[in-house]
Amino acid sequence: MSDENHRRGPSVRSIPEGDNRERMICAECGYILYDNPKIVVGSVTRWGERILLCRRSINPRLGYWTLPAGYLELNESASAGAEREAWEEARIYRARLLDEAIEPGPESIEVRLFDWEQIPWSELAFPSVSWALQHDREARATRDFTARVNPPGT
């Protein structure tokens, strides 16, 4: 149910099933208000030359591949958000893999390390995943790691 279609009934602060923090939830219909800044954080995580991708176990884009990424929470730094998302999706807590022992977190069906040629480009969840992968490859080749934002339309 979208926010526009939700009838504003009495709300309670509770932790929704499958979540790890309190949210405002409608006591009548179960609508969950995700009150966060709508900024996505994530990481391109590698083991050697292989790149970590996570197959989503939640909507939107259930079953598609993505980087460990998601919405920043209120009062959370970008680096803390990226670490949290990596833990929630792949049970890692740093963008640099310390070993290749990865496993799916509650928001992933599967996690896998891909060589560049094996990346399932047609199965990526969002255009920003392709953009981030291309940016990472370019940055590694040119050694230009300056921050960039998503290009228009992604």
User: How much is the mean pLDDT over the chain?
Assistant: 86
User: Tens of pLDDT along 125-138?
Assistant: 999 899 999 999 99
Same domain, yes or no, for 54 and 9? no
Q: Does 150 reside within a domain?
A: no
Q: What is the pLDDT of residue 153?
A: 63
Long-range contacts of 86-90 (CB under 8 A, 24+ apart): 86/42, 86/43, 86/45, 88/20, 89/54, 90/45, 90/52, 90/54
Same domain, yes or no, for 45 and 31? no
User: Tens of pLDDT along 16-32?
Assistant: 888 888 999 998 888 88
Same domain, yes or no, for 45 and 11? no
Least confident span in 38-47, 62-71, 143-152: 143-152
Same domain, yes or no, for 94 and 135? yes
- Percentage of residues in the chain having pLDDT higher than 70: 90
Tokens found for residue 86: 């990596």
- How confident is the model over 109-135, as a mean pLDDT? 95
Same domain, yes or no, for 108 and 54? yes
CATH number at residue 3: 2.20.70
Q: Does 153 reside within a domain?
A: no
Greatest Cα pair distance in the chain: 54
Tokens found for residue 125: 């969840």
Same domain, yes or no, for 74 and 132? yes
Q: Is the pLDDT of residue 93 over 60?
A: no
- Rounded to an integer, what distance in angstroms lies between the CA atom of residue 107 and that of residue 81? 15
Same domain, yes or no, for 65 and 133? yes
Domain that holds residue 24: 1-35
